[in-house]
Amino acid sequence: MPVTPADLIRPEIRALAAYHVPSADGMIKLDAMENPHPWPGELRDAWLERLRDVRLNRYPDPGAQALKTRLRETLSLPEGLDVLLGNGSDELIQLLALALIGSTGERRCVLAPEPTFVMYRMTALFAGLDYVGVPLRVDFGLDEEALTAAIERHRPALIYLAYPNNPTGNLFDRDAMLRLIAAAPGLVVVDEAYSAFADASLLDALPDHDNLLVLRTVSKIGLAGLRLGYLVGVPHWLREFDKLRLPYNINTLTQLSVAFALEHRELLDAQAARLKQARAELLAALDVVPGVTVHPSAANFVLFRVPAGRADAVFEALRARGILIKRFGSSGGELLRDCLRVTVGSTEENRLFLEALREALD
Ligand SMILES: *Cc1c(COP(=O)(O)O)cnc(C)c1O
């Protein structure tokens, strides 16, 4: 008998559906929190000029030193804190799960308030860790009492707090987060994928909390194609994680291109400011669409609720008009019932989205 996947692949992996990225050919893409704005022509030329001398026959700098130095400067990182780079923050989330696998027989657990970013759960499962999701309150705030009880009960090796949270868009209460960090028996990763749009961060809390790590990415500020995420924290933790990092995980083009982009930080900042303005306009416009309830957002996307039972029909109506947003289906659970998520796009994309939405709900 030839060997089959059933012989070799764990049942929980065989039971998984592959992470589904819907085809977006020719569509207005408002499903994945990408920045819609391209770079101006002269900046593109300067970037291409920088790439001209790249030696593709050589391996990348394994430590990505120039990029790390640039990042440290950009973040104004104090001495005593360091960064670990990943091929997207997804890779770092996976690396954390790998690093925290217990010794033989020892069950370890990852905990997060839910709904939240699905990769926390997925990577825990990949690594054979337990995962505990603790429901948010109906207003998407942290249920501190339930979280504290779950922390006591499960003693998680790792807690994820997305700040602002995806897909709900809100910022959790900072003091509640600090209390959870103090109560945690293990590590707490505050995932700041949307910090450029939030005016809030826990980076400043790092020096006072040895079990705190802050995760960021350049994906949502306009560099999703480059795949670069970074974890900020104290070196004695990052050193251990670094041992599990594959050599050369950050390719040469990414190292050079992100460093170049950070040298032109004012453009990234201006684009983020423009998207925040567009978000305010989109929130205001959604707020007066009959049948729509809109949730506050500190990110570059907006979560909104449509009349009961109509989320699928609205999603399909938009797709038929060439506009792709995000629906949750049963994966969203009770709290996301009737909810849809839309990325803040360009002025024109947002206009077309609103027009299609009004029509779909008419
Ligand atoms: C988009 C997102 C990420 C993934 O970022 P990459 O760097 O593109 O892998 C991580 N965390 C949250 C909360 C996100 O929404």
Q: Residues 166-207: pLDDT tens digits? A: 999 999 999 999 999 999 999 999 999 999 999 999 999 999
Residue 249 has pLDDT above 80, yes or no: yes
Q: Ligand 1 pocket: which of 89, 123, 303 to mutate (most atoms <8 Å of CB)?
A: 89
Question: Tokens in use for 345?
Answer: 């796009």
Residues 115, 30: Cα–Cα separation, whole Å: 20
pLDDT of amino acid 286: 98
CB 289 within 8 A of CB 305: no
pLDDT of residue 99: 97
Mean pLDDT taken over the chain? 96
Give the pLDDT of residue 24.
82
Alpha-carbon gap, residue 293 to 297, rounded angstroms: 13
- What is the percentage of the chain residues whose pLDDT exceeds 90? 94
The Å distance, Cα 244 to ligand 1 centre, comes to 20
Write out residues with Cβ below 6 Å of ligand 1: 33, 88-90, 117, 162, 166, 191, 193, 217, 219, 224, 229
Report which DSSP code applies to 139: T
pLDDT over threshold 80, residue 269? yes
Q: Is the pLDDT reported for residue 308 higher than 80?
A: yes
pLDDT tens column, 322-339:
999 999 987 778 999 999
The predicted pLDDT at position 57 comes to 97
Cα of 196 vs centre of ligand 1, distance in Å, is 13
pLDDT over 90 at 1, yes or no: no
pLDDT at 18 over 80: no
Quote the tokens at residue 88. Answer: 């997207």
